[in-house]
Amino acid sequence: GSVPHGQDGTTIPNLGGGPTQLALSEASKDVVVQRSFSNKPIATGKFQDFFEKIESYVAIISGPAMALHGASPYTFRAVKEVVSDSVFEFHDTLTSRAEITDLSARFKDDVIAVIGLGGTGAYVLDFMIKTPVQEIRAFDLDPFHVHNAFRSPGRVEASELGKTKAEVYLSRYSNFRKGLSVYPKFIDTSCSDDLKGVTFAFVCVDKGSSRAEIFDLLISKGIAFIDVGMGLNRKKGPLNGMLRMTYYSAEQGQKVRDMGLAEVVDSPQDVYRANIQISELNALNACLAVIKFKQLRGFYSEELPYYNLLFEVGDLKIAGASKFDED
């Protein structure tokens, strides 16, 4: 409709918003949204609840027509369930407000595996928890110790120390979304059933031999995945090093593996294992992986299809490879 008007025929002031074109859910695609509004109480700056909010907008927008013509906006059926298939326990109102509902819907059929819940894996899990994928399966057998608290997002409870990471992270996130399973186990070539139905995986382990078995399993099952890693050193003064994100598509997974971009043998202890307070690097490594995944799903724009990214701490530069050498 047009701009709302008052009883005197002038435009209703202080409504904010303006013309827009908003894509609603599949169930409401016949409703065409043409305008958005923003008007909050002057006294408090916020509404107490949704009922007060709707009552206020009805009074402002429909009030003049109700007063002059006896019109009533209370004519349609009540919808008892706002989003019947949402994976979140809380209603996400800002996705529709930002007009990206159609983009978020691209994750609805994904079943994600997060293999390894160390520093980077914990952040990958945190980011994916807030992504509307159908299901998340996370795997890690290790216990949650003090050094893990310095490498993981969110609040830490003293009672969590000594429990398995699986128990800790399931407890933290189970009230946020549905479709989350966290298993206290390592993934190797014998775990084919654990990955049944998985559409994409994140590999976040720091042991080469474990990575090798996980790669073998994922490639044999035709599951696309992203592997992350970091290498830090301290030659003189401050730490330096690189973060890596490597994408193994279902079609080119073996070819990328043969390039030797990720270590698949156990190496001596490096500086990374001894330096616990580098959560910003873990988070950044996870960001590179999750952004790439969302590019693959068409949520983010992608100018070049990088399958390998390297970020150097010292100069804050990213180098990427997007083309395969010709055979």
The reported pLDDT for the residue numbered 92 is 67
What confidence tens digit (pLDDT) does each residue in 147-171 have?
A: 888 888 988 888 889 899 999 999 9
> Beta strand 111-115 with 135-139: parallel, antiparallel or unpaired?
parallel
- pLDDT at position 169 is 94
R_g of the chain computed on alpha carbons: 25
For 300-316, the pLDDT digits (tens) are 999 999 999 999 999 99
Q: How confident is the model at residue 277 (pLDDT cuts 50, 70, 90)?
A: low
Please report which confidence band the pLDDT of residue 32 belongs to, taking 50, 70 and 90 as the band edges.
confident
Residue 122 has pLDDT above 80, yes or no: yes
Q: What average pLDDT does range 206-220 have in this prediction?
A: 92
Cβ proximity of 126 and 101 under 8 Å:
no
Of all residues in the chain, the percent with pLDDT exceeding 70 is 88
Q: How far apart are the first and last CA of the chain?
A: 60
What's the mean per-residue pLDDT of the chain? 85
Contact (Cβ atoms closer than 8 angstroms) between residue 151 and residue 122: yes
pLDDT at residue number 327: 46
Least confident of 58-67, 86-95, 260-269: 86-95
Annotate 163-184 with b (16+ C-beta within 10 A) or e (fewer): bbbbebbbebbeeebeebebbe
Give pLDDT, residue 82. Answer: 52
For the beta sheet containing 135-139, the strands, ordered from the edge strand earlier in sequence to the opposite edge, are: 180-183, 135-139, 111-115, 200-203, 224-233, 240-248, 308-312, 317-321
The CA-based angle 197-207-258, given to 5 degrees, is 70
pLDDT digits (tens, 9 = 90+) for 69-121: 888 887 766 555 555 557 877 766 655 554 567 788 899 899 999 999 988 99
Query: For residue 269, what pLDDT band results from cuts at 50, 70 and 90?
Result: low
Please indicate whether residue 222 or residue 41 has the higher confidence score (pLDDT): 222
Contact yes or no for 136/128 (Cβ under 8 A): yes
pTM, two decimal places: 0.74
Q: Where are the alpha helices (DSSP H) in the chain?
A: 50-57, 63-69, 94-97, 101-104, 119-129, 146-149, 165-173, 208-220, 253-258, 271-274, 279-296
pLDDT of 79: 53
pLDDT tens profile 235-249: 878 888 899 999 999
* Cα angle value 179/152/244 (rounded, 5°): 90
